[in-house]
Amino acid sequence: MIITMLPAGQHVRDVYAEAILPNARKDALLIDCSTIDVESARTVARDAAVAGFRAADAPVSGGTAAAGSGALTFMVGSREQDFSEIEQALQPMAKAVIHAGASGAGQAAKICNNMLLGISMIGTCEAFALAEALGLDAQKFFDIASKASGQNWSLTSYCPWPGPVPAAPSNRDYEGGFASAMMLKDLRLAQEAAASAGADTPLGGAAEALYNELVERGMGQRDFSIMLEMLRGRL
């Protein structure tokens, strides 16, 4: 098998066209785990099929912590008949391998998932900033919200406020984790996809603008939960 994970669609297209398709054994299973635009994923899969290969797009969710523990979630776009072999190949790195549909469906799932993640993190950061302004202790707010209707992954698994979730990047001065620049890239992909599909995503657009501002303030390589510090007026 050949597994790739590259920054953008053009990189994937180039690597497949120049290195993989001309040189790989014809029985190789090709799996791209990049987060790229849907059209690039479909183009690569089509070119691979023409060249006689089985190919899949399989972007991941979970961040560096899940990567380190072999607990990533893979969203797979592929032919149905190829999925069992793809699942077996990815299982050592995964807590879940989910068949999203045909080629490109994995990328569609990842783009939608990360748009939701970006939006929910901003909402969580806004709530902590408001709680602070109202004089509410951050730990008390966490204890309440994590058991109330505001509970979400950005709060209980990746808390942007230092303290409540010891493994969160907020306890390492927002180092490591999922870079703000990467979140901005994914939100841009989501907005491009929305424009292409004619879908209305106003919160996705607002999230893209806020992460663009965060990156412009020099925080591109810090974890995306550092959005809290911008909303607190500390950047």
Q: Which residues belong to the active site?
A: 110
Query: How do beta strands 2-4 and 29-32 pair?
Result: parallel
What stretch of H or E contains 2?
strand 2-4
SS3 75: strand
Cα gap 180→43, rounded to integer Å: 28
Would you state the structure tokens that stand for residue 110, as one six-digit string?
Answer: 């990842």
Please count the residues of the chain. Answer: 235
Would you state the structure tokens that stand for residue 167, as one six-digit string?
Answer: 């493994």
Cα gap 220→184, rounded to integer Å: 9
- The residue whose two tokens read 């799996």 is 31
Q: Residue 132, exposed/middle/buried by CB under 10 A (0-12, 13-18, 19+)?
A: middle
